[in-house]
Structure 1
Amino acid sequence: MIAPGSTIGILGGGQLGRMLAVAAAQLGYRCHIFAPEEVSIAAEVSAAFTRADWDDTAAMARFAADCAVITYEFENVPVAPLHALGSVPLHPPARALEAAQDRLVEKEFVRSLGGTPAPFQAVDSPADLHAAIAAIGAPGILKTRRDGYDGKGQWRIRSAADADTVDWPGQPLIYEGFVTFEAEFSVILCRAATGEVRFFDSARNVHEDGILALSTVPAGAPIADQLAQARDLAAAVAQALDYVGVLTLEFFATADGPVFNEMAPRVHNSGHWTIEGSITSQFENHIRAICGLPLGDTRLAASAVEMRNLIGDEALDWAGLLADPANHLHLYGKGEPSPGRKMGHVTRLTL
């Protein structure tokens, strides 16, 4: 057990790191951010900041020497430099990063545990793409196997003819067939080092232009009917990885049951509602888990919760949002808004 007053290292300096640092401070911990960016909104609310490239192993080692435990706030942290952390515990483990960083590896891993992903095929050339479309059909979506989020690094393929219009990115890709679904939802769990697992209520998620726009709890039908099966898969993933911390799996609710979309080995945007809407938030429970503290209660603190992302200039109406006393406003301090950029979120509770 890591006692309050110790330092928690966080790899990554964005809004998830910021919210983790706030939760850690409430439990009496200091946070030290490691990120390559010159400006870090997570560092603004933390005790220390190391700005260095991911492959600067000397800086990584100095950072680790200041920390009692280390975690990360996004899944694209390079794995190779993490050997410089030495004996300092890293939660979740590097294996979770390896599984989540490559979409092909991720889907094969989940399928090996009995999960059902969308139809997929590896693509390394234009000829491979034509073969994948012939095997899986169109429409579909072509994605980079690595990196890419919030709709980035993706191309919609409406017909076989679209394969010849792709601006080839020069990196390994994966082609996924479209899934006919009734709703999208996420399963968010927190697993302790003891193996104890607690689930948060699952939110119904609505995406706009590939970016999460709205999460609502309770999720309702048909998600409620598919939740047990989805949770079983999420728990199996956590156990297979010997996972510690918050883990998120995203699903499509279909006529044939839950179809796995992707996993995130971290706290997740679709769980931001838990800050006010759950007895213990995903951020606090992640800190509890990585520090060896007892996990907190994940039950709802209200009868219903809605979380809406503030994307681009939607955050400029902060005064109007605060004028409604039912709103819980979270602004991330990112400066000037830009299209497609998550600038904050607002949560409403129905008691």
Structure 2
Amino acid sequence: MLAVAAAQLGYRTHIYAPETGPANDVSGGYTRGGYYDAGELARFARGVDVVTYEFENIAAGPIEALATFVPVHPSPRSLAVAQHRAEEKEFVEALGGRAAPWRRVESRETLDEAIAAIGCPAILKTATLGYDGKGQVRLASPADADAAWEAIAGAPAVLEGFVTFAHEFSILLARGADGSIASYPPPLNEHRDGILSRSTVPAPAEIAVQWTEAAALAGRVAEALEHVGVLTLEFFATADGPVFNEMAPRVHNSGHWTIEGAVTSQFENHIRAIAGLPLGDTGLTGRGVVMENLIGDDVERWAELLGEGDAHLHLYGKRDARPGRKMGHVTRVMR
């Protein structure tokens, strides 16, 4: 989707990855190489004008190496903070944000200490490499500690306490190299089995009244990181205001609705930002919009969805429709 947005602005994209994927079908070039292959990374960097990344589960080292040859946006600093749960919580809290009660967990003993401090129920999450519900274990009581520690294979983690919330929502913004910021209306996010199922805009009133505070925090995060590109912060809407959940230094699944639902999509604004262009209008194209993810076998509904007059279908070209795998999405704009 980034490559398509770039092409519409007249740019050619070149993909670097260890294996082929859907982006190869719509890009001008592809280099198959390992993330730690210094020689291949250097050759790739010399052939492009700017580098960006579309997920955070890669080490910061290769991104830092690329930055010695070519501009990289977002910066390696944004990646380093966002890919570690403890680091991102500390970073956001230092800027005035509130997170759910949490503690670092580095050993089986510190897990017991964290449980004693936070209580149960709680969630043990790996500090890195967790997304869409992966790397997470719920603890109903302290008796679950051994099984939870074994489930994450003793990896560095954080223990998070539960918060009472009405809804989940996200703030998506684009920040240009000149410091300009364009923020999208916050979508209501609904999850199924830990995976985003549906995003709806406009969000309910409980979210709308917390939008200003959450968006201001997201702006402070973007500025502190000197972030260039799209940045996403996820929140819980609680009776006491927005509670920060996690961040992503990239375009986000909860912003896929912007392709048809916003004047300028998150993908186009990301390309605009990293290419030094003015940011585009983030207003809605209709009264509202709903984006539904097609997860696993949901993709088999493609023919039915194409028969709907108001459905905009996006299939990602992934080969295997495994359970829990996002295969595409459908967007409906209310005029």
TM-score normalised by structure 2 residue count? 0.98
Query: What is the RMSD of the two structures over their aligned residues, measured on CA atoms?
Result: 0.8
**Could you say which residue in structure 1 is the equivalent of 2:51?**
70
Q: How many residues align?
A: 332
3-state SS of the aligned residue for 1:333? coil
| Residue 334 (structure 1) aligned with residue 318 (structure 2) | yes
Q: How does 1:98-247 map to 2 (within 5 A)?
A: 98-166=80-148, 167=150, 168-247=152-231
Task: Give distance in 2, aligned partners of 1:140 and 1:170.
Answer: 17
Amino acid at match of 2:271: I
Matches of 1:311 and 1:242, distance apart in 2? 34
**Are the aligned partners of 1:58 and 1:84 in contact in 2 as well (CA < 8 Å)?**
no
Do residues 34 (structure 1) and 45 (structure 2) align? no
- In structure 1, the residue matched to 2:262 is 278
**Are the counterparts in 2 of residues 189 and 246 from structure 1 also a CA contact under 8 Å?**
yes
- Which amino acid in structure 2 is aligned with residue 322 of structure 1? L
Q: Identify the range of structure 1 (85-94 vs 256-265) with the bigger mean alpha-carbon deviation.
A: 85-94
TM-score, length of structure 1 as denominator length: 0.93
Q: Which residue of 2 aligns with 1:298?
A: 282
Question: How far 1:321 moved relative to its partner?
Answer: 0.7
Q: Could you tell me whether the CA contact under 8 Å between 2:64 and 2:76 is conserved in 1?
A: no
Contact in 1 for aligned 2:232/2:247 (Cα 8 Å): yes
Distance 2:13 2:268 in 1: 13
Shift of 1:134: 1.0
Q: 1:194-237, CA deviations, whole angstroms, 9 ceiling, x for partnerless residues?
A: 11101011100001111000000000210001111001100000
Deviation at 1:82, TM superposition (A): 2.6
Query: What is the one-letter code of the residue matched to 1:62?
Result: R
Match of 1:266 in 2: 250
Q: State the Cα distance separating 1:307 from its structure 2 match.
A: 0.2
Gap regions ≥5 residues in structure 2 = none
- Is 1:308 the counterpart of 2:292? The answer is yes
Structure 1 residues without counterparts, runs of 5 or longer = 1-18
Q: Which amino acid aligns with 2:133?
A: G
C-alpha separation in 2, matches of 1:77 and 1:154: 19
The CA deviation string for residues 121-140 of structure 1, in whole angstroms up to 9 with x for no partner, is: 01122221111111011111
